[in-house]
Structure 1
Amino acid sequence: MNLQLDIQKASTEPTPDEEDIRRWITCALAGRRSADSEISLRLVDSEEMAELNGTYRGKHGPTNVLSFPADLPAELELPLLGDIVICVPVVAAEAAEQGKPLQAHWAHMAVHGTLHLLGYDHIDDDEACEMEGLETAILAELNFPCPYRDEHCTEQTGA
């Protein structure tokens, strides 16, 4: 699988290296997609994310990550998976508030957004359980800790 990743940095705040972001997204795709993949990733500030969150989700204020899967007819056989938008200051604030290493939280947001592009969701409990279990497993492959409460991770991984 070949990943074409277009990263647009629309924030003046520090962000992870492109190499790290590519590794996180590639790991999220591994075993779940064998075809070539094209993803656009936009790193934004709170104002732009708040506008996107209001427009597309009807929610006030910025959120950490939004995914916009490409809705293309399968017969086109294009590699475009879609777009991911990550809010740089929200990710930094959440990591600090939750006592998580910043790099680990960035990896989680990249993996989370990528899984959404692959069709995973967390609207109902069963979907959330599946998606959170995948996130936990992928992050473990990347040597990051479980992003959820300890007892929740135990449920997800069966440990």
Structure 2
Amino acid sequence: MTDFSQAEFGELPPELENMDPDFFASLGVPEAGEEVSFLPAGELVIETHCLLNPSLPLSQSELRPFVEAVRFALGMSEAEVQLSIVNDAEMAQHHEQFKSRIGPTNVLSFPDSDPERPQYIGEIILSADTLVREADLYGQPVLEHFARLLAHAFLHLAGYPHGEEMYSLTEQAVQAATGEGPAR
């Protein structure tokens, strides 16, 4: 097993120092000296426009690694994405402005491209309040539902329509991000 604190890897970001190394192994993180064939990670901008819902079992320092795990599981580690986590009031405003619908929704995705930044694929807006409420309604662990919504939104940004392939990829990402199965 790789010692992720070895000097050859540089210093770990503070949010990763206390994570279980088995978590990284489950995502297919290469061993020391192993050749890596994927592109460097693209920029991931995460904004929280609200205090995270107390029922959402992630601190600010745990949020980025979790989102990165979903992105990596989908094979999208090179994609640049803006993720905003908002409350229901802000989500309701976005939902009405962009979809002409009243009330909050769980997640909105806005595919985008920029010739100056070819890895940029768009923006995701997610309501922490709706996420927690739906997880309870569906009888799902909150992190599982969070991973499912993130994967769904990432796949929309990548151009996937609803259907069997999207569903299958979403479930693979959920399993990988929550430690329930192999990474892609």
Q: TM-score range by the shorter chain?
A: 0.7 to 0.9
Tell me, what secondary structure is at the counterpart of 2:43?
strand
- Distance of 2:46 and 2:176 partners within structure 1: 23
Which residue of the partner structure matches residue 166 of structure 2?
131
Which residue of the partner structure matches residue 65 of structure 2?
19
State the identity %: 28
4+ aligned runs moved over 6 Å, structure 1: none
- Distance of 1:50 and 1:144 partners within structure 2: 33
The alpha-carbon deviation at position 138 of structure 1 amounts to 2.3
Bigger drift between 54-63 and 9-18 goes to: 9-18
Matched to 1:19, the amino acid is P
Which residue of the partner structure matches residue 103 of structure 1?
143
- Distance of 2:94 and 2:161 partners within structure 1: 19
| Alignment equivalent of 2:96, drawn from 54, 62, 75 | 54
Tell me, what secondary structure is at the counterpart of 1:3?
coil
Higher-Rg member (1/2)? 2
- Distance of 1:98 and 1:144 partners within structure 2: 18
The structure in which a higher percent of residues are strand is 1
The 3 A distance-change label for structure 1 pair 24 and 56 is: same
The alpha-carbon deviation at position 99 of structure 1 amounts to 0.6
RMSD: 1.9
The alpha-carbon deviation at position 144 of structure 1 amounts to 4.4
* 8 Å Cα contact 1:3-1:26 kept in structure 2: no
Which residue of the partner structure matches residue 3 of structure 2?
none
The structure in which a higher percent of residues are helix is 1
* 8 Å Cα contact 1:38-1:80 kept in structure 2: yes
- Distance of 1:60 and 1:80 partners within structure 2: 29
Listed one character per residue, the Cα deviations across residues 8-55 of structure 1 (whole Å, up to 9, x for unaligned) are 001113453221121112212x1xx57x32111000011111111111
Which residue of the partner structure matches residue 80 of structure 1?
120
